[in-house]
Structure 1
Amino acid sequence: MSNNSSVAVGIFGQQFSFRVMFVQILVIIFLCINMLLIATFFKKECFHNSARHILFAVMLLSDSFVLILSDFFLVVNFLQFDIEVWLCTIISIVTFLYVMATPVTLTAMTLERYVAICLPLRHAELCSTRRSMSCILIIHGVSSVPCILILTMFFATASFSFYKKKALCSVEIFILHTWQRHLRSAVSQLYFLIMCIIIIFCYIQIVKVAKAASIENKQSTQRGLRTVILHAFQLLLCLIQLWTPFTEAAALAINVNLFLDIRYFNYVMFSIAPRCLSPLIYGLRDEIFCLVLKNNICFSAFRRSNKM
């Protein structure tokens, strides 16, 4: 019996090690792609005057922070490394903020496409560089509300000695009472509803413009429509992440191994995957951005060949 148990534990450990390594490979690949796209954005002056590209750069930075911090949590929890609650709180503040920043930024980018296609005469005014900077502040302000709410509830109920304790760092550490979980779920569902309404509204309005567009504008309108659809799919994955605590809680009530499988699937599918789509949707599909990126890569390769 003990031999079978040790074999089962060994197989589970190998499987979990493979999962962690698989995530490391994904994170490294997409962090490199993100850094390359961010460097491209800062190198070209024309991108700094485009609201679309400014918001894209903000989303890439948010995605990169989330990938790094969530991967840190994954490795620390895999190693069963306990850290003090006060340190976990500081790291979690940044994580909470940028987990929400991605769907909020996606919503802002969808609104920018709506203005560009449905209100083209006002696009230059509404999506100017100055307004884009204000939009970034609004994005971070809106994204910080759930974070502030969760941490305020935690600070109000946790004793001072609790901060000195050591524990595995996860979001569950901030939920000390059942009502806190319910309130967090209510806020997540409110965000889910508002973002879905905005996406559906923009989609319907762009479809109307696409049907009435002339032959000359039909191509650009259809392209904008495809971008909104891709945004909607990416945003859906991000928003489903807000619902994952429900599935994980249900799995934990059934079986611990099932809980670990569900949590890993949720992490890869609804945390990593939507952030890996950002470079594909807005980086490689954007003709100007893609052209500049190719020129930079070719120029770098040419310089290296000359040095050799």
Structure 2
Amino acid sequence: MRTSIGVVFKMQNMTEFPGNATSHKRLSVIIKLSVVIPFFCVFLCLIVVMLHIFASHRQFLDSTRYILFANMLINDTLHLLSSVLLFICFMVRLKFALVYCVPLLFFSTATFQNTPLILATMSLERYVAIFYPLQCPAAWRSDRIWIIILSLWLISCISPLILFSIGKSDPALNIISTPVLCRVSLVSSSPIQELFRAAIDFLFFAVVAVVILFTYVRILLETRKLRQDKVSVSKAMHTVLLHGLQLLLCMLAFTNPIIVTLIVLHANWLPEHISFFFFFCFIVIPRFLSPLIYGFRDQSLRACIGKQFLCCSNKLKPSVRGKLQDNLLAS
């Protein structure tokens, strides 16, 4: 198993003629960058709008559900930012010192492992909201939820710290001055590190899968018992189901080595194209869909987003009119 950025770095050399290989490689790099960068920019704009809404509306900060959602947006932003930066550096073959490479790898690994923990917490929050609406445990109140959030970040950061520390660095490699091509194999290539990473990834995703399945089944059974407020319970059930779908998309990233091997054996695709396909579909797309799925399906948040874009368009119109009037006067 690999972390998300490891999906990209399983590349192999092309076996074409030197001239054709160089031009083909450049075109391939341009196409891949033209696909990834616009998606990331659109995602970043959506995140900025949503975080601005959370910061400017008090009712969202008083709700545990929205606080957890904002935490997920921040985590996904950090993960995509570090992963896309590593992807761009690898595509353009940019080399820099290991002391700058390690923080990017650390954030990519920590935020990738934090994703399932956040999904499990959001599912448990829906479970608590349905089964304990009047007697909410103190830890799940909006003024205490930061304790759970900090615990999730601590757990997800401890794992890569241990992973990177148990490896042996190359004595000939100066971490400050020697330029290297930043990739996961530089800091975690030993068998013990591979075993540790596989065990941690399996443990995280297995526990989260059990939590999501448990909450979904309990809420599903509750919908059959309740005679009132079935709408809110049904919405909670759909939300947990979406958490499970997103977890499935994240787990599919771990199948990359197996699927790449099978496709290479039975098709003519180059391994780097297959790896890019997995990176885009199972790393970029799930994080891009998160604000769309959880943001736009919420009526309160959707209304605020609509007002935000409407205000921006109203602000742009007077400036456009002013420029037209200036051009007419000048003529």
TM-score (norm 2): 0.83
2:276 paired residue number: 264
SS at match of 1:83: strand
Q: How many percent of aligned residue pairs carry the same amino acid?
A: 25
Report if the CA contact (8 A) 2:113-2:204 is conserved. Answer: no
Report the AA paired with residue 223 of structure 2.
A
**Which protein has the bigger helix share?**
1
Contact 2:117/2:204 (8 A) holds in 1: no
- Tell me the residue number matched to 1:237: 249
Question: 1:3 and 1:93, CA in 2 relative to 1: closer, same or farther beyond 3 A?
Answer: closer
Unmatched runs of 5 consecutive residues or more in structure 1: none
**Larger Rg, first or second structure (1 or 2):** 2
AA at the equivalent of 1:194: V
Query: What residue identity is the alignment partner of 1:233?
Result: L
Q: Is the 8 A contact 1:101 1:143 kept in 2?
A: yes
* 1:135 positional shift: 1.3
Q: Structure 1 residue aligned with 2:120, among 97, 100, 107?
A: 107
Report the number of matched residues: 304
Q: Take 1:45 and 1:39, find their aligned partners in 2: how far apart are those partners? A: 11
Partner of 1:182: 195
Q: Which residue of 2 aligns with 1:72?
A: 85
Q: Are 2:30 and 1:17 aligned? A: yes
CA distance in 2, matches of 1:208, 1:22: 43
Equivalent residue runs for 1:86-235 within 5 Å = 86-123=99-136, 125-154=138-167, 157-159=168-170, 161-162=172-173, 163-164=175-176, 165-214=178-227, 216-235=228-247
- Residue from 32, 40, 55 that aligns with 2:45: 32
SS at match of 1:129: coil
Which stretches in structure 2 are left out of the alignment for 5+ residues?
A: 1-14, 322-331
Q: Does the aligned pair in 2 maintain the 1:73–1:169 contact within 8 Å? A: yes
1-side partners of 2:116 and 2:260: how far apart? Answer: 21
1:172: how far off?
1.6
Equivalent residues of 2:188, 2:194 under 8 A apart: yes
Note if contact 2:120-2:212 (Cα within 8 Å) is conserved in structure 1. Answer: yes
Asked if the contact 1:235–1:274 (Cα under 8 Å) also holds between the matched residues in 2, the reply is: no
**Among residues 72, 81, 100, which one is paired with 2:94 in the alignment?**
81
TM-score by length of 1: 0.89
Structure 2 CA distance for aligned equivalents of residues 174 and 246 of structure 1: 23
Task: Show CA shifts across 1:111-146 (max 9, x none).
Answer: 111111233223374421222111110110121132
Alignment RMSD (CA, Å): 2.6
Cα distance in 2, alignment partners of residues 46 and 89 from structure 1: 39
Rounded Cα–Cα distance in structure 1 between residues aligned with 2:81 and 2:217: 36
| Residue-by-residue CA offset, 1:73-114 (whole Å, 9 max, x unaligned) | 111111111111121112222222222222221111111111
Q: Provide the rounded CA distance (Å) in 2 between the counterparts of 1:279 and 1:223.
A: 17
